[in-house]
A and B are shown apart, each in its own frame.
Chain A
Amino acid sequence: MKWIGRSIRALVRNPILEKEVLGTGRTLKFFLFIVGFVLLACIPLLIVVAEYHSYRTNTGYKLFMVIYFVQSICIGLAIPAYASTAIAGERQHRTFDLLRITVLQPWEIIWGKFLAILSYIVIFLLAFLPLVAVCFLYGGTDPRLVAACYAYLFLGAATAIMFCLMVSAGSINPIKSILVGYAAIFVFSWVWAGLAVAFLDQRMGFRGAAGPISLLGIQTISAFTSYASLLSLFYIAATALIKPPSWNKTTALRVWYVASMLTSTVFFFVIGNSLWGSGIGRDVMAGYLISCVGIPGIFAAVGFCSEPRTVHPRLLEKAKRVPRILQPFVPGGFGSTYFVHLTITLALIVPLSVASALSSMNIFEDTFWLAAGIFIYLAFCCSLSKTVRAFWDSPRSRVITLLTLAGLMLLPLLSLLFEDYSRAPAIAWIDPFVAFAEYIDSPGRGSELLGRQIFLWFHVGGIVLLAAARRVRLKSSADQLATNPA
């Protein structure tokens, strides 16, 4: 569990963050930068106040929108200035190698830079707070609207920062990376602003935000998912771009794998949601074809070709006797496990879902869901046992595995505490037995739960399996090193 603690500590206490905040945050230039933006924001505010000098119901709302708009512009201007030069500037000042020579991982470097720039944005937002407070004096501004707007702004800023960091990571010229950053922000903000205006216009009609704000919940979730997915992809890309040369061996596969999982998840949600209700078979087929065949297939193929050394070390000698490109598929290696996993999934699911789509007979649906659920659950169990064995290669590993699986099987007992599974969403999301029970009671709800669980277990299982493969390889290499240091 040490690595979990280390990861959490690394997220919170990042030396890059501390250094950046010390180096930039305390300078007079930064202070003047903020003051300048705040003063700039006062001008349109004063104009609006002068125009709406008499009390009107929507003055506060108008004022808030003006401040929000100015804030968005200021942040949009500030982000490329800081983020696009973050890595390219290090390269230009010849300090980048100094970072790479330390034991900091690429993901920590990017994360530290990201947090530092995000902290500047937070300071920006805080500096604007007194102006925002003025809006509340006039009334008519719903706090939930304010919260939702800032959530959008914050997420949008975070995504833009990560995009600029990605550009910066791939560039050696800060000027070029700043230009690309501004161009992207410009396009991005027009799209974003257009959507925001359309949303506000449609939902609020610029008349305040009392009634239809409940709809914002649904919108926020989808926006959050999109932003989070984009942010993750930019993060992975930025990390990959600054990787040290020897980092690419196993990490390349990890990057590809996580990217494929994220992409497949996004596609699953998008395609699944858009097709939902048009027939369960078609949903499943579309979701799985894209999720399991298309995107991960491409990612996996590239990942495997670029990483032939993910074979289990015990089979390394055996693997060396087969062509390099086929090495990942030597039985026992992670590549082969993933390959078999994918093949069986497709062999099992695609024909059934196609048949299900073409037929209205419930037997296909039932077979599909049960078979898919059981397979994925078993695959997860295998992954879990491999992981446990990788970390504790001793007899106690079996005990840990058995206890973990027993714990999972006991989860349905917890659900007995609830009359309705919807009150125990966490259990319903992770436990297949609950979903099977639900399926018997209500096939619609049950199949939805099973579908989610399939993806959950598939992804979680795959990721832990990957961690296991990495761990086993390191352990074996460490043993080899101990026996033959040269």
Chain B
Amino acid sequence: MIRVENVTKVFGKTAAVNSVTFHVAPGDIFGFIGPNGAGKTTTIKMMATLLEPTAGRIFVNGIPVSEYPERVRHVLGYMADDFGVYDGIQVDEYLEFFAAAYRIPPARRKAVCRDVMELTDLGGLRTKMVSDLSKGMKQRLCLARALVHDPKVLVLDEPAAGLDPRARIEFRELVKELHAMGKTILISSHILSELSDFCTTVGIIEHGKLLVWGKISDIMASVKQGKELVITLAGEIDKATMICQQCETVQQVKCEGNVVRVTFSGGNTHMTALMKQLVMQDVPVVGFHEEKQDLEKLFMQITRGDVA
């Protein structure tokens, strides 16, 4: 649905985006992750026809963005990170304006706007002035605006920035609902935990370069050099460390108070054997589990840790 091929964007002498390539399949939710200034917004703006790539090509729904920006705008809904709204008009007038700007016939406009308002839970605020809306509501209005022409692809740039926890949860549910409707969604965010909840694929960008992209499980499998075992002890830390170091499948051992963290390359059998050995040598084991790898850790592992 979205194909970004060797895209580069240079501002003056600085390459904001450097030869970025990734694909988003139809129906996917793609999480675009990166620290501030990594090139996320620049890449998204190029997709949204607001910037032209210095080199490379972008296709949205098979349409080349540089050659057919108007066609792309018909199939793409874009929500900017720093969304602005027109304050002097009502919610329904705001949406009808954008419906007109997307050349939706006048006879269909009201119905389309009503549907979009219902979807984004703005139905009760139809006649409210935009200036009177809360930030969360304005953000919903912006999403409604992006949906007004029923785009196949949604590009959301930091949509949850500045929202309170409740508004974030509601927004996440809304994105899931849109995904269920068959929309292909590209979403960029700093809050990695909220992306890991619903993204099917991710791309991690830093200093304008895409470090890795693909399914989260595939990336984890390729990045991980071993499982991390967390062993919580009631004592005998040194003894436990020594036992772990003697094990062939253990790569690294780190002690953090009563917790021993073990980088482990073996399978379940080896894991059971290690636990048995600890117990048999009278090490007081309180807990023994494999650390779950989440998106946040993956991000820290892949990037050089310079998250803003």
Q: Does B29 contact A (CB under 8 A)?
A: no
Q: Which of A45-53, A241-249, A259-267 contacts B (4 or more CB under 8 A)?
A: A241-249
- Shortest CB-to-CB span from B276 to chain A, Å, is 56
Q: Is the interface of B mostly helix, strand, loop or mixed?
A: loop
- Of A16, A22, A244, A246, which one neighbours B89 at CB under 8 angstroms? A22
- CB under 8 Å from chain A, chain B span 49-70: 49-52, 59, 62-70
What is the bound-complex CA distance between A101 and B97, given in angstroms?
13
Residues in chain B near residue A97, CB distance under 8 A: 45, 50, 80
What is the bound-complex CA distance between A246 and B45, given in angstroms?
12
Interface 0/1 of A14-28, CB less than 8 Å to B: 011011001110010
Q: Does B100 contact A (CB under 8 A)?
A: yes
Residues in chain B near residue A101, CB distance under 8 A: 48-50, 73, 76, 78
- CB under 8 Å from chain B, chain A span 364-421: none
Report 5 cross-chain contacts, Cβ distance below 8 Å, ordered by A residue: A97-B80, A102-B101, A246-B52, A246-B67, A485-B59
Residues in chain A near residue B98, CB distance under 8 A: 98, 102
For chain B, the bracket of interface size reads 35 or more
- Shortest CB-to-CB span from B141 to chain A, Å, is 11
Residues in chain B near residue A104, CB distance under 8 A: 101
Q: Is the CB of A15 within 8 A of B100?
A: yes
Q: Does A215 contact B (CB under 8 A)?
A: no
Q: Is the CB of B49 within 8 A of A246?
A: yes
A-B pairs with beta carbons under 8 A, tally: 82
Nearest neighbor of B82 in chain A, beta-carbon distance: A94
Interface 0/1 of B124-150, CB less than 8 Å to A: 000000000000000000000100000
Residues in chain A near residue B51, CB distance under 8 A: 245
Question: How many A residues have CB within 8 A of the partner chain?
Answer: 27
The 4 tightest CB contacts between A and B, nearest first, are A94-B84, A245-B52, A15-B100, A23-B88
Nearest neighbor of A26 in chain B, beta-carbon distance: B88
Q: Is the CB of B80 within 8 A of A103?
A: no
Q: Is the CB of A244 within 8 A of B100?
A: no
Q: Is the CB of A244 within 8 A of B69?
A: yes
Nearest neighbor of A248 in chain B, beta-carbon distance: B52
What is the bound-complex CA distance between A93 and B45, given in angstroms?
18
Interface 0/1 of B98-128, CB less than 8 Å to A: 1011110000000000000000000000000
Q: Is the CB of A24 within 8 A of B88?
A: yes
- CB under 8 Å from chain B, chain A span 151-190: none
Q: Is the CB of A15 within 8 A of B89?
A: no
Q: Is the CB of A246 within 8 A of B65?
A: yes
Interface 0/1 of B2-44, CB less than 8 Å to A: 0100000000000000000000000000000000000000000
Q: Is the CB of A19 within 8 A of B83?
A: no
Nearest neighbor of B100 in chain A, beta-carbon distance: A15
Nearest neighbor of A246 in chain B, beta-carbon distance: B69
Q: Is the CB of B73 within 8 A of A95?
A: no
Q: Does B224 contact A (CB under 8 A)?
A: no
What is the bound-complex CA distance between A23 and B100, given in angstroms?
16
- Name the residue in A97, A99, A247 with the highest tally of chain B Cβ atoms < 10 Å from its Cβ: A97
- CB under 8 Å from chain B, chain A span 113-136: none
Q: Is the CB of B62 within 8 A of A95?
A: no
Q: Does B239 contact A (CB under 8 A)?
A: no
Residues in chain A near residue B86, CB distance under 8 A: 19, 23, 95
Q: Is the CB of B50 within 8 A of A245?
A: yes
- Shortest CB-to-CB span from B251 to chain A, Å, is 43
Residues in chain B near residue A18, CB distance under 8 A: 97, 100
